[in-house]
Each structure stands twice: as structure tokens, then as C-alpha cells.
Structure 1
Amino acid sequence: MASRIPENFIAEVRQKVNIVDVIGEYTNLVKRGRQWTGSCPFHDDKHPSLFVEENKQVFNCFSCGRSGSVFSFIMEKEGLTYPEAILSLAESIDLPIDSSISASVVHPVDNTTQGIYQLYTAAQRLYQHILLNTTSGEQALSYLHDTRQLDDEIIKKFGIGFVPEDNALLGYAKDQNLAHELMHASELFITNDQGEMRDRFAGRIVWPIKSDRGQVVGFSGRALDNNNKIKYMNSPESPFFTKSKLLYNFDLAKNVIRQTNTVMIFEGFMDVISASMAAEDNAVATMGTALTNEHVQHLVRIANRVLLVYDGDEAGQRAAQRSITLIQENTKDIEIGVVHLPDKLDPDEVRLQQGLSTLKQALHQNIQTPVEFLISVSRVGKNLSNQAQYLAFLQEVMQLLKQATPVEQDIQLTRIANEFGTAKSALQAQLEQTNKSEANNSPQHFLKSQPVYDNVSIDQSSNGIAIQNNINRNITQVEQAERALIMAMIKSPQVMAQVIETQGFAFVHPDYQLLMMLTNIYQNQYSGEFNLAQYMDFIQKPDLNQKIMAIDRVYGDLSIEKEAINDYLHIIMQEAPVDAKIRELKQLISLATQQQDNQKLLQLTTELINIKKQQL
């Protein structure tokens, strides 16, 4: 996949993006000499173990072992592929991205699908041109200006357009000699029983729907004629347009979401646009469907705070309830807020009827906690002056307060006591009773588990459990030679050639043999000065990259000397077999000792002594 992006483009992104700035958005970094340190954002890191080397543009966590370049950091942190990480970082620095690059990364498939993406891009440009610059678009433009109070700058920012009744896109597609199969697969046209095509969104104002990378993948259209029975229409589901995964405006909002760690989720496209007009650019909307697991997982990769800004009517409040449950079931440590809008209006109605300042104030100041919001919802449909319904309401409240902090429990109980005249002590007693009842009814589980260790191997035997740290384990002289030699080979094609030509050479440890093979391929593809970050991106194997970082810390800055290379080769080729024989003899001696085989023990010990004498 990486080959789809030109190497010069990747190099430009690598040159213009600073790994310290990128990782610094996820964790606080402090300068320590030549390195930056901080808490690793990939795990609960109480003692900062993340090191970032600005001069080499690489990172490494000594605790969990994650390491690599700025691309691999973004890949793992946001769940992106290598090409997607490149484009994400390119967008973060406003680097122009050719549409052919974007299309191949968004959906690296066959020419037909790429042709569909190109058609969608052309359709969006055509529709907007018609809206802003032709007589066909005058009525639609007047509606957007006067009724929706949108200016041309906002229209251009969100790519809004108009589809006339004259099949303008169909004419364009025919002029371009596009294949009928491609046009049909694009879902931009409707075919009647006679096989005749027409523009699907004819007579509609359209909002383009884009992927995370900004590629147009669909449209949402509103009929300009109010007598049209189908007021709103979305592109149908397709391999490239899946409502359960797409979020409106995510391509424009994601950088602000990442910077603020906060995302606002709305129900409608115009709500998002209204929020943007109120200078709230971290807004997204679901595609006419409820929030999904895919949406949540996508957002919490870059945000730790979610604000639900749903319509103030009953349907909107039910949607907010479902979303709170979904978010809490799928994520941990995510702060959730619910924005309360005045007069049961939706955000766009607040802007149009009460002004941008009122909307902005509501988005900032009318934020409820999930418990506060759910308690208010519990009131709906109940006559709380009726004792039975009031007691049922209290039962719901107590269940909700179990998950609240002690402070919020106190606040809510005080409010209820003041409003209904119930003694606060009685409410506290009922909450305690609810908690005790839940505890008594909970099944008790006695779990026997093995302790978990980061980056260790556990060897269970009859003699107990031996724990060996795989990162800081002792390195033998032979492996030290292997590490020094592979580092020299990585940095110097000349050393690589020398080792390859050494008859009978092979690394003792398979990892270094694999690195030798991969490095040889790397050097055939890349010339010029060695770049550690580029090399690790080429490898793209977490275990090997972790080992490369460990090698680079010790041998990366050493000069390459011919005499040293010869020493490394001698140790690996001559001493490694001896070391292996010594290890084998020690194991046999241990076995003979256990079996009390004195004759065998004497023989093996003599052999071991003779081998060690030869090493002196």
C-alpha cells in the first residue's frame, strides 16, 4: 500500500512534521538533554517511560516497548494504516494532497472504484458551480441566503451545491465517456424501467458527505420544492458509503477535536454548520442514523470528552439517552456532557431564532452531566405530585446516582429535597439501602489469576516461576557482536556487501538474520544518508523496531571501523559455536547431577574445562 504514495511526498511530510509536536498533543513532554520524556499514552504510565529523540524523529517506550517513527505512532494511536497516517499528518500541516493520492489511500481498489471517487469529486464541484454561478441555481441560492441565513463563504466551506432538473451530471459523465457500469455503481443516477438514467438528486440542494480523508463519497439532498413528498434523501448504502461508519464534517473537524480533546456530536448537518458559524469547529453529525459502536471507537481515539448536542424534543432526548449508554459501554474514562438547548429547539433553530450568541452560550454553559440529564429525563411523563409516581421516580434516581460521584450525589439529593420537601436524610438512607441491596444480590466470584507482567516471559517449572524481562535481559558477547554488526550493516551498504560476501556467515539469532535480509532490500530501494525513522517505517514490524531502537541506543552513534567489523565477524562465526557447545554441556551436567551419574558427570565436566581452556 505504501507504494501508492510517491516517496518524495512521504519525505516531504517526514521533513515538515516534528515528532515532538505530534506526540506532545497526546502527552506532556519535557526536554531532558537531547531527548524528550513523558508518560506513554499507550498504557497507564505512572512513571514516565516514553522517550522521544527529536534529532532522529523516533520514539520508544521502555515500559511497553512501543517504538517507531511519527507515522507508526499515529498508526497505532489512531488505528490507521501506514498510508492513512501519512495523509493524516499531511493534512495537519496543510500540505496539498493530490486527489489521485487521496483516492488510492481512502479505498485502494480497482480502477472502477477510483473512477467513482473522481466522479464524486467532479459532481461536487459541478453542483457548487451551478449553485453559485448559474441562473439554474438562483432559487436555491436565494433559499440558502434568505431562509437558512448562510453566506457564500459558509456555502463554499461546506461544499454545498444544487442539482438542477436538466441532468447536468449525466451530461458531464457522457461527455467524459464514462462506462455505464461505473455510472450505475456510483449511485449518482437513477435508472427507470426503460433503462434511462437521470441525476438522482435532481431538484435538490446537496451537502457532500466526505470520508475522514476528505474524499467525497456521497450526498445528502433536500428538495427545493416543499411539495415534494420526499423532503430529504441520502446516497444509498454502498461499499464506499456506510452510514454506520461515516460522520459528517469529521474531515474538517478532526484536527480541532485532536487539539481540544473534545468532540460535539449533533443530529443534523445544518446543526454542525450552525456550530461552525458560532466558532465551534469540533462538530460532527451522524448520518441520519443513531450513534454506532464504529462512530464511538473512531472518536475516542482522538478525544477524551464527548458533548451530545441533540434536539430538545422528546426524540432528541431519547437519542441522547441511547448515546450515553453506548459510549459508556464501549469506552472507559471518557467524559460525557449533554448540552441543554432552550425551548426544545435544535441547534440550527436556536441560531435562526435566537442568534449565534445564544447558541454559542448554550454550547459552552448549558452542559449537563449524564446523571443530571438522565434524572431530568426520568421526570418526563410522570405526575410527581402523585405519591406512587414520585416513589417510582425516586427509584430511577437512586439507580442513576449509584454511578455518580459523592459530590454529585449530594447536589442531586439536595435539589430533590428542596423541590419536593422530602428530608435529605431520608433520600440518603434510600440511596444507601439501594447500594446495600445491590451488593447483597451480586454474585461473588473468586478468580485465581496469574500475575501479568509487561514485556516479560514467564517460565513455569517444578522449581517455581522464573520471570525474565525481555527488554533489559543480559546480552551475551555474541549477541552484542551481532547487534553492533547489524547496526553497521544498516548504516553502510559497504559493510552489508562485505558480510554477504563472507562465506559461511549467518547470524546466530533469527531476528538479526531477518533484519539483514530486510536491510538489504531497504538499501536497494533507498539511497543517500541513512534515516532511522524512514528505516523503521520500512520494517513496520513492532518487535523488530523495538530491537532496532535498543541497538541504536548503544551502537547508533559509533563510527564504522574495518577492524571492528572483522572482530564482530570472528566472534559470531568462531565463538558462537563454542558458546552453544558450552550451554549444551552445562545442561547435560545439570541432568547428570540430578540423575547422580558420577561417571557421566566427570566426563562432561572434563570436556567443559577443556573447551574453556581453548577460549583463554
Structure 2
Amino acid sequence: MAERIPQQVIDEVRAQTNLVDLVSQYTELVKRGREWNGSCPFHEDRRPSFFVDDKKQVFHCFSCGRSGTAFSFLMEKEGYTYPQAILKLAEDEGITGLAKYQGQPSARQEKFQRIYELYNAAQKLYTHILLNTTAGEQALRYLLKERELDEETIKKYGLGFVPSNNVLLSYAREHDVDEPTMKAAELFLERDGELVRDRFNNRVVWPIKNERGQVVGFSGRSLDPDNPAKYMNSPESPFFNKGKLLYNLDLAKGPIRAGQPAMIFEGFMDVISAAMAGAEGAVATMGTALTEDHVRSLAKLTERIILVYDGDAAGQKAAKRSIPLIKTVAPKVEIGVIALADNRDPDEVRRELGLPALKQALEQSTQTPTEYLFNAAKLGKNLQNQAQYLDFLKEVWPILADASPVEQDYFLQKLAEEYGSSMEALRSEFEDYQRRHPVPTNGVFPSNANGPASSVNSSWDDQQFPDVAPDHGEHFNQSANMAPVDWQAAPRAKLSRVELAEEGLLMAMIKNRNMEELVERQPNFSFIHPQYQLLYLLYDAYRKEHGEGDFDLAAFMDYVQKPELNQKLMSMDRTFASMDVQMEAVKDYLRVIIEEAPYEEQVKSLQQKISLAKNQHDDAALITLMTELINLKKEHFQQ
């Protein structure tokens, strides 16, 4: 078992690593004001919103919210563990003598490693047979002539051929691969408990790799026209899970992070054809529907996903199922849909119409989900027939109900122009549908801009409670020609009065031990939001381990190692780090947390009950609740 990396080694690696140099390997950075600015390497970022503070050695993106240090940057970009990131940066900085921290693999890791080695050997063997032996000539002809691939593409994707002579079974036995490993790899078929032949005999095979590029399975296509099992995948196993794996993600993740959209296809050859046409963010599911795990994997890399499904009924069904799934799992992701003409799949477009035609289709044919579903609803219907037209409208209303107001207006006008219905009649029927099928509010109630919250907030000292501008989704750096800016000038996420007080108080406690002692003397004190309570407990533990020296933001973020908490730390540092700690400000923070927060919760609870009473037309309850709310506010402001 590996020794734990000592703290002094971690500190040395952190001190010697230049975060600007590291990040510059992934995105171009320009010095702006006190920080370095560039496009975020974690998502498509047309207007640079990524900042690196080379003094504090931390980064933050004001668009996607990612924050961290050199270690967390590598962990997220390359999938390293924390120790792996430390050792990788140590190696880059020429820090030696750390081999003893590499660690010994567990029994499970050793077992998987043997399986992975067998898979890697199988892929190389199958590709060699395809390209260099007479046994692979028919398969090579199929790929070169019928699929119109070249040898470079075949090598890039590791395609191969499995002959019928059980070549891998012989290879494994000749190289003394143990029987349990051979069985666990699922590369062979058994009879009566004995391995008897290669699973993919007489098939062209596509290696399936995980996100790290490790081969974990194969998909094979039979060259025998009489074989009823045309396609075959590796069976499900602990390391081959079709619901989690995306074909080609290992090669696509780089282009996706660099700004290309993630494009989801149905077939492996569609992915290869798309990449040949320049769409290098192409991935495919493996004979299964898109899953939540698939969506989460892509949403970590991008804010734009495009579905490219075949134009047939099955493709439409897949798109209709995938669109709401993406909206639910990754609501911030922008969705596009491409439906190719004449029911062709992307590989057929490339081979029949040429690579330029496919490139044009993938670049210029993207529809919004509403547009795609609206057009799909038309298919198979004679909309000149009144009954079918009315059925079409019934299918359209739920589509429009989920669309933006602009899209709703556009498609209602389109219906009126194309089918002669009056705009008034269409809007009336659509509004009737909306009344009968209200969109859930999920318990979110609009705030009262004229209520006590705004009036109290306006009286606070601006030095104690700096302005926090609402985030309208726009990047602050509108143009490369703008005057230099720094992240102190960037738009800030809207924080409540209570949360802002919690940030100020926690930063004061971190910067001044006397303030921490003052807070500890408050009976039964705790932060309202659990993130700040957890940060306080972590900082207390961190200080006991590291002593009472000057606060090191990067070191504490590495200690925390939780992205959502580090984002809070960056927000606190940005707002309060440059301010002097003042006793009056700290007392104000405590008053808000101890006195104002419970009052706000009571107001919020009553407002929710009032809304419910209104919806249920319960006048008696409404009068009682309104009286309670008025009395609560009166009592609060008399204090």
C-alpha cells in the first residue's frame, strides 16, 4: 500500500507549480488587470469568462462556476485522483523521490488490470490480422470498398477482424493468461464450463473504450449474410456497462472541451463519418437508449448537446425520448436536433452524397427541440383532412407548452399561415390547453420587491454588504477589445441578504481569530446554510493541522476538495478578502443570521400558505393567513 503523500511535499508541489502555465496548455490566457483571462477550457465559451489569479494560484469561471487550484484543475480535466494530480505535477516540475507514494494496486485493481491487458492485446491482434494477413483480406475489402474507409482511419479507431480459428484463445493460453481472467474478460464462449472459442469469430470488430481510452469491450459485425445475429456486443460486466459507456468519448472529450458541441449518434460508423466531416465531438450509444449517466457524462464537458438520429420512425422515437431526458438531467444544456433527409443515416450521407454534403448537414441543419418535434408531428398526417389536423394540434399543444414564449408565438403564426386557422382561434385553444395542463412551479414563489427584505437590505452599509449584481447569463467580457478587466469587476451571482452575511462572517472568522472567538460565544450559533457550517468545521480542522499562519486560499481549497464548497470559497474571497475586519460589520452579520433569517423563513412559509389558499379559493384561511403575515411584519419592524 502506498504511503500517504506528506503535507510538505504537497505544499512544495503547489508552490513550484505555475497555474497560469498549466492552464495555458489548454486555453490561451491574456493578462488583464491583476489576473489572467481566457476562454474556459471546461465548456464552450464564446466570451472569455475564465480567470486565473497567479498570486493566489486559483482559477474561477464566471459562466460555468468551476473553481479550484492546479490539483483540482488536473483532476477535472484529466480524470486524475488527488494523489495522481500531485504526482503528475511533481513529475512535471522535476520533483523526484516520490515513487513510494504511487501505491500498490488492490486485488480488484490487479484483476481488472489483467483483464485490461488482455483487451489491449486483443485489439492490437485483431487490427494486425485485419491489415496484415490473408485471413483479414475479406474484412479489409469490406471496410475499404463498402464502408469507404482508409487505413489511417482504421488504425485511428482500432478496427479489427476476428478469424474463425480462435486466434485469441490460442494467444491467451500461449501467454499463460490465467483461466479466471480469460472467463472474466467475456472474450470467449464456454461449453460445460470450458472455454471453447473466441466470442467474435468471423466478425469485423470495433473496440469499445472507456473515457480514459482503455479498451473494455468490442462490438462485432458478422460478414456472413446468413448469420441472424448481424451485430454483437460484449456482454454486460463490471467494466462494460452500455448504460454508462459512450462510444468514442475518449477521443471526443478533447474537442468537446475545446468548444465543439457533443453530438450523439446511433451508430459507430455514423460517429466515424461525422468525425471525418469535422464533427470531432461525436459519440454514440451502444444499441441502447440514451441514459441519465450518458447525459451527465456529457454535461460535465459541454453546455450544448446535439442529437443526430436517423430520420426513420425509430430515430424520431429516440429523439422524442432523449429531449425530455436531457432537459430533466441537465436543464442548463442547450439541445439541438439534426434530422437528415430521406431517412439516411450520417454514414450513408457520406458514402452516397459525399463528405461535403455530410459536413454541410451537420453544420447547418440543427433544429431546436420544438422545431424538430413540431415537424415530426406532421409526418404521416394529411393536414388538409380536418380530423387529422385536429389530432395534429392535440400533439402540438404539449410541445408548445414546453417552448419559450417567442417559439410559441412563431409556431402559432406558422400554423395560422400554413393551414388557414385564425390566430385568435389557435391562441384561444392553446391557452385553454395551458389552463388545463398547468406547468408545475416546484414550490417556487416570486419574491415581493416591495416587501421587508428589500427595505431592510437597502439600509445596510455598502462597505459591509457590497453590491451583488444579478446574473443575467451574460459574460462580463463582451469583447476582446474592451479595456482590461479583473474578476473583481465581473457580474456576481445574486445572493440573499442572509447568505451574504454568512459569507462575510465566515471570512471575518478566517481572517481574525478574535472574530471566531466572538462567534463561538454566541449560544447555540450555527450558520443557516449547511455549506457555510461545513466550511467552518473544515476550516477549524484545517487550522488545527496547519497552524495559525496566514490564510492560504489554494491550500485550503485543496484541503476541502469539494467543487461546490470551493465555489463558495471563491465567492467569499472575491467579495470580502480585500476588506478590513470590522467589529460593527461582524455584529451586523450576526444580527442578520440570528434574527433576520428566522423571520424571513416565517414570511416565506406564510406566503406559500397564502398562495395555496388562493388557489383553493379558501377565503377563511386566506383572511387568517393574511392577518398573521401583517402582524408578523408589524411586530418585526417594531422591534
> Shared fold by TM > 0.5?
yes
Q: How does 1:230-249 map to 2 (within 5 A)?
A: 230-249=229-248
Question: 1:294 maps to which residue?
Answer: 293
Paired letter, 2:389: Y
Q: What is the number of residues matched between the two proteins? A: 494
Shift of 1:295: 0.4
Aligned partners of 1:475 and 1:534: how far apart in 2? Answer: 14
1:225/1:65 Cα in 2 relative to 1: closer, same or farther (>3 Å)?
A: closer
8 Å contact from structure 2 (residues 60, 570) kept in 1? no
Aligned partners of 1:466 and 1:362: how far apart in 2? Answer: 52
5+ residue gaps, structure 1: 43-47, 94-102, 459-464, 483-508, 521-530, 556-616
Paired letter, 1:387: Q
Question: 2:613 maps to which residue?
Answer: none
Shift of 1:356: 1.1
Question: 2:302 maps to which residue?
Answer: 303
Paired letter, 2:21: N
Paired letter, 2:198: D
Question: 1:190 maps to which residue?
Answer: 189
1:472 aligns with 2:507: yes
Q: How does 1:533-548 map to 2 (within 5 A)?
A: 537=558, 540=561
Question: 2:402 maps to which residue?
Answer: 403
1:267/1:445 Cα in 2 relative to 1: closer, same or farther (>3 Å)?
A: closer
The structure number with the bigger radius of gyration is 1
Q: How does 1:594-609 map to 2 (within 5 A)?
A: none
1:182/1:226 Cα in 2 relative to 1: closer, same or farther (>3 Å)?
A: same
Aligned partners of 1:65 and 1:324: how far apart in 2? Answer: 25
Question: 1:285 maps to which residue?
Answer: 284
State the identity %.
52
Aligned partners of 1:551 and 1:443: how far apart in 2? Answer: 34
Aligned partners of 2:225 and 2:87: how far apart in 1? Answer: 41
Question: 1:329 maps to which residue?
Answer: 328
SS state of the match for residue 213, structure 2?
Answer: coil
Q: How does 1:59-74 map to 2 (within 5 A)?
A: 59=59, 68-73=68-73
Aligned partners of 2:116 and 2:231: how far apart in 1? Answer: 23
8 Å contact from structure 1 (residues 19, 54) kept in 2? no
- CA deviations 1:140-193 (Å, max 9, x no partner) are 111111111110010011000111112211122112111101111011111123
Aligned partners of 1:471 and 1:15: how far apart in 2? Answer: 28
Structure with the bigger RCO (C-alpha within 8 Å, sep 6+) is: 2
SS state of the match for residue 131, structure 2?
Answer: helix
1:455/1:537 Cα in 2 relative to 1: closer, same or farther (>3 Å)?
A: farther
Question: 2:365 maps to which residue?
Answer: 366
Shift of 1:447: 6.7
Aligned partners of 1:62 and 1:271: how far apart in 2? Answer: 35
Aligned partners of 1:206 and 1:166: how far apart in 2? Answer: 16
5+ residue gaps, structure 2: 43-47, 93-101, 454-492, 518-535, 578-639
Shift of 1:75: 4.4
Aligned partners of 1:361 and 1:66: how far apart in 2? Answer: 34
8 Å contact from structure 1 (residues 165, 202) kept in 2? yes
Shift of 1:334: 1.8
Shift of 1:404: 2.4
Greater CA drift, 130-139 or 207-216: 130-139
Question: 1:392 maps to which residue?
Answer: 391
Aligned partners of 1:57 and 1:231: how far apart in 2? Answer: 55
Aligned partners of 2:401 and 2:574: how far apart in 1? Answer: 52
Aligned partners of 1:414 and 1:313: how far apart in 2? Answer: 28
SS state of the match for residue 367, structure 1?
Answer: coil
Aligned partners of 1:437 and 1:510: how far apart in 2? Answer: 49
RMSD: 5.0
Question: 1:149 maps to which residue?
Answer: 148
- CA deviations 1:294-352 (Å, max 9, x no partner) are 00011111111111111111111111110111111212132111112111111111111
1:88/1:125 Cα in 2 relative to 1: closer, same or farther (>3 Å)?
A: farther
Question: 2:624 maps to which residue?
Answer: none
- CA deviations 1:354-374 (Å, max 9, x no partner) are 111111111112222111111
8 Å contact from structure 2 (residues 19, 52) kept in 1? no
Greater CA drift, 131-140 or 241-250: 131-140
Aligned partners of 2:317 and 2:539: how far apart in 1? Answer: 58
Paired letter, 1:472: M
Question: 1:600 maps to which residue?
Answer: none
Paired letter, 2:344: L
8 Å contact from structure 2 (residues 373, 399) kept in 1? yes
Aligned partners of 1:312 and 1:123: how far apart in 2? Answer: 36
Aligned partners of 2:142 and 2:359: how far apart in 1? Answer: 24
Question: 2:430 maps to which residue?
Answer: 431
1:106/1:15 Cα in 2 relative to 1: closer, same or farther (>3 Å)?
A: farther
8 Å contact from structure 2 (residues 65, 567) kept in 1? no
8 Å contact from structure 1 (residues 207, 221) kept in 2? yes
Paired letter, 1:234: N
Question: 1:131 maps to which residue?
Answer: 130
Question: 1:35 maps to which residue?
Answer: 35
Paired letter, 1:431: F
Question: 1:169 maps to which residue?
Answer: 168
Question: 1:18 maps to which residue?
Answer: 21
Shift of 1:271: 0.3
Greater CA drift, 393-402 or 471-480: 471-480
Greater CA drift, 229-238 or 412-421: 412-421
- Per the normalisation by structure 2, the TM-score is 0.65
